[in-house]
Amino acid sequence: MAMNTQGRPSRPLHTHDAGAYTDTFSGSRGLDQAEPLIFERGRVDVTGVDLPEPTGAALRIGGLERTAEIGLPGLAEPETMRHYVRLSRKNYAIDLGLYPLGSCTMKHNPRLNEKMARLPGFGDIHPLQPQSTVQGALELIGELAHWLMVLTTTPWVAMSPKAGAHGELCGMMAIRAALDARGETGRRRVLVPESAHGTNPATAVQCGFFCDEIPADATGRVDMAAFKAKLGPDVAAIMLTNPNTCGLFERDIKEIADLIHEAGGYFYCDGANFNAIVGRVRPGDLGIDAMHINLHKTFSTPHGGGGPGSGPTVFSQALAPFVPVPYVVREGETWRLVEHEHEAEGQPFGRMVAFHGQMGMFTRALSYMMSHGSDGLRQAAEDAVLNANYVLARLRHVMTAAFDGTCMHEALFDDRFLKGTGVSTLDFAKAMIDEGYHPMTMYFPLVVHGAMLIEPTETESKASLDRFCDTLEGLALAAQAGEAERFTAAPRHAPAKRLDETRAARTPVLRWSPPEDQPQAAE
């Protein structure tokens, strides 16, 4: 028997069935600690913050004091720390491993950027301080705007949109304003490829447009014949993602731009996949009129479990007069914020948000961009494309690639390789969890059956990609060898087994309630 130097056994003494004791008395499973809600742990009379004692002076709130119990529990600081650290360990993260969510661009988040955003001169300034006291902040916004305009070769950028979808709204509202300024009340049809992100049609509708879907051709790109047939005097714009959500560059993009312009419409480009071409292709050269840039994708500001994002939107000369307030302008050595519509030179369509945009994301993105420089950004795009193509090349003999040829920054597979195995795309994805990977994007884009969209990003090493490809190869062969249960029972090694989403939607429980009040929530 193997023994260590203290005479303690260094390997298990018995090899009996481990399944006999899967339940624990504590509910925890080793490092996976069971953790109740704060409402079950905390007490409403406990606080984890030391504050001075109020004087108890008379209130001057018009007799509107909140006297009823608020019911919010507090926890002492060590308890708070432990609660959230325990919860954090139930999450997958890019810092833990490859996170191949296609179209989401989960790449390394440099901590230098976090440090820069927290400099008191950026993190601890108020948006309505006198402009003379925030010249450095306005300069940073102006500098980031400059980088974005050069990288896209466009003459203007609106910095205030709060996320990608908000940037789409910014772009489409500018298009609507431009049409209104032309007196074009009949142009309300927006052409959207069926492979588009759901935000595209949702955005178009919020601008008073309606959507008309363009089918994809056999190569996964816009069907040009169908596109041409849809052009007419009622077309306001096309919303096109490029590279598209199949991970493919739209070869006919210049012709698309020319045709939509000839037809009197505008070209909105969804810039969610700009990371594939940054530094190598400038969208302005392709004829776009507006494009949002997800700073949290291309320029690596952290996704934070679902935000915050940031969606600066670049514009062509045709749309520049309609961009919203606020924006910064440089006057000699001084930076100035234009905050009101009637101070603006053009005809802004309005204001999208309070204050000036996601400053905390601007600092992080500019730090990332300066670190890379023009040469590093170009290299990042190349490595992103190289990594995706490597995954595609290594896996296409066991998984079925959706389209022939190479791809851009993401590799798209369909579920033909699972046909007859009893394993679905969902099952396959859940088995990846057991292997220590976050699943790829599933069932999107909609143009491919059982889609699996893999975006490795440029921050993966070759060794990391090889381990990942070996794993997926193993899974694909296992599925084809009839090991369906490996997949349908997955995940087995995650903090939670498969969750009942139907139950969650049928009987929604959207908040905690005291035990005596349950069940609650509508329906």
Partner 1 sequence: MRYLPLTPEDRKDMLAVIGAASVDALFDDVPEAARLKGPVDLPRRATELEVERAFTAMAGRNLSASTAPFFVGAGAYKHHVPATVDHLIQRSEFLTSYTPYQPEISQGTLQTLFEFQTQVALLTGTDVANASMYDGSTACAEAVLMACRITKRQRAVLSGNLHPHYAEATRTLAKYMDIEIEAAAAVPGGLDAVSDAITDDVACVVVQNPDVFGQVHDLGPLAEAAHAKGALLIAVFTEVVSLGLVESPGAMGADIVVGEGQSLGVGLQFGGPYVGLFACRNDRNFIRNLPGRLAGETVDADGRRGYVLTLSTREQHIRRDKATSNICTNSGLMALAFTIHMTLLGAAGLRTMARLNHERACQMADRLAALPGVEVLNSAFFNEITVRLPKPAAGVVEALAAKGVLAGVPASRLYLGKGLDDLLILAATETNTDSDLDALEAGLKEVL
Residues 218-247 interacting with partner 1 (rule: CB under 8 A): none
406 is a contact residue toward partner 1 (CB under 8 A): yes
Using CB atoms within 10 Å of the CB of residue 143, give its burial: 0 to 12 exposed, 13 to 18 middle, 19+ buried: middle
**Considering only 3-11, 45-53, 233-241, 415-423, which stretch makes contact with partner 1 by CB under 8 A?**
45-53
Sign of the alpha-carbon torsion through 392, 246, 222, 181: negative
**Shortest distance in whole angstroms from residue 13 CB to partner 1:** 28
- For residue 69, the 8-state DSSP code is -
Q: How many CB atoms lie within 10 A of CB 406?
A: 14
Q: Please, which residue, 50 or 420, has the CB nearer to partner 1?
A: 50
305 is a contact residue toward partner 1 (CB under 8 A): yes
Q: Which of 184, 264, 390, 483 binds partner 1 (CB under 8 A)?
A: 390
- Give, as ranges, the residues between 253 and 292 that touch partner 1 (CB under 8 A): 253-254, 277, 279-282, 285-286
Q: Locate tokens 């260590």: which residue? A: 4
**Shortest distance in whole angstroms from residue 363 CB to partner 1:** 7
The answer to whether 401 and 462 are in contact (CB under 8 A) is: no
The answer to whether 140 and 366 are in contact (CB under 8 A) is: yes
Binding-residue pattern over the window 159 to 198 for partner 1, x denoting contact by CB under 8 A: ---xxxxx-xx---x--x--------------------xx
Sign of the alpha-carbon torsion through 157, 162, 168, 170: negative
Q: Please, which residue, 155 or 376, has the CB nearer to partner 1?
A: 376
- Give, as ranges, the residues between 120 and 139 that touch partner 1 (CB under 8 A): 120-130, 132-137, 139
- Give, as ranges, the residues between 491 and 510 that touch partner 1 (CB under 8 A): 491, 494-501, 503-505, 508-510
Could you tell me the end-to-end alpha-carbon distance of the chain, in angstroms, rounded to an integer?
61
How many residues form the binding site for partner 1 (CB under 8 A)? 208
The backbone torsions φ and ψ at residue 155, rounded to the nearest 5 degrees and listed phi first, read -90, -5
**Shortest distance in whole angstroms from residue 387 CB to partner 1:** 8
Q: Please, which residue, 188 or 231, has the CB nearer to partner 1?
A: 188
Q: How many CB atoms lie within 10 A of CB 12?
A: 8
The answer to whether 410 and 103 are in contact (CB under 8 A) is: yes
The answer to whether 165 and 127 are in contact (CB under 8 A) is: no
The backbone torsions φ and ψ at residue 441, rounded to the nearest 5 degrees and listed phi first, read -65, 130
Q: Please, which residue, 136 or 233, has the CB nearer to partner 1?
A: 136
Of 246, 248, 254, 252, the residue nearest 226 (C-alpha): 252
**Shortest distance in whole angstroms from residue 233 CB to partner 1:** 20
Q: Please, which residue, 152 or 421, has the CB nearer to partner 1?
A: 152
Q: Which of 352, 412, 454, 475 binds partner 1 (CB under 8 A)?
A: 352
**Considering only 299-307, 312-320, 416-424, 474-482, which stretch makes contact with partner 1 by CB under 8 A?**
299-307
Q: Which of 363, 400, 421, 424 binds partner 1 (CB under 8 A)?
A: 363
Q: Please, which residue, 9 or 84, has the CB nearer to partner 1?
A: 84
- For residue 248, the 8-state DSSP code is -
Q: Please, which residue, 90 or 416, has the CB nearer to partner 1?
A: 90
**Collapsed DSSP state (helix, strand, coil) of residue 301:** coil
353 is a contact residue toward partner 1 (CB under 8 A): yes
Q: Which of 98, 104, 290, 412 binds partner 1 (CB under 8 A)?
A: 104
153: Cβ–Cβ under 8 A, 6 or more apart, which residues?
282, 283, 284, 285
Q: Please, which residue, 3 or 202, has the CB nearer to partner 1?
A: 202
The backbone torsions φ and ψ at residue 190, rounded to the nearest 5 degrees and listed phi first, read -115, 125
**Shortest distance in whole angstroms from residue 286 CB to partner 1:** 6
The backbone torsions φ and ψ at residue 466, rounded to the nearest 5 degrees and listed phi first, read -65, -45
Report the C-alpha gap between 178 and 267 in whole angstroms: 12
20 is a contact residue toward partner 1 (CB under 8 A): no
514 is a contact residue toward partner 1 (CB under 8 A): no
Q: Please, which residue, 47 or 480, has the CB nearer to partner 1?
A: 47
Q: Which of 28, 91, 317, 347 binds partner 1 (CB under 8 A)?
A: 91
- For residue 7, the 8-state DSSP code is S
**Considering only 226-234, 305-313, 412-420, 448-456, which stretch makes contact with partner 1 by CB under 8 A?**
305-313
- Give, as ranges, the residues between 317 and 346 that touch partner 1 (CB under 8 A): 324, 339-340, 342-343
Report the C-alpha gap between 21 and 86 in whole angstroms: 23
Q: Which of 98, 204, 216, 476 binds partner 1 (CB under 8 A)?
A: 204
The answer to whether 117 and 302 are in contact (CB under 8 A) is: no
How does DSSP assign 404-438, residue by residue? SS--SS-EEEESGGGTTTT--HHHHHHHHHHTT--
Q: Which of 5, 59, 262, 515 binds partner 1 (CB under 8 A)?
A: 59
- Give, as ranges, the residues between 430 and 459 that touch partner 1 (CB under 8 A): 430, 433, 438-439, 444, 458-459
- Alpha helix positions (H), 435-490: 462-480, 484-488
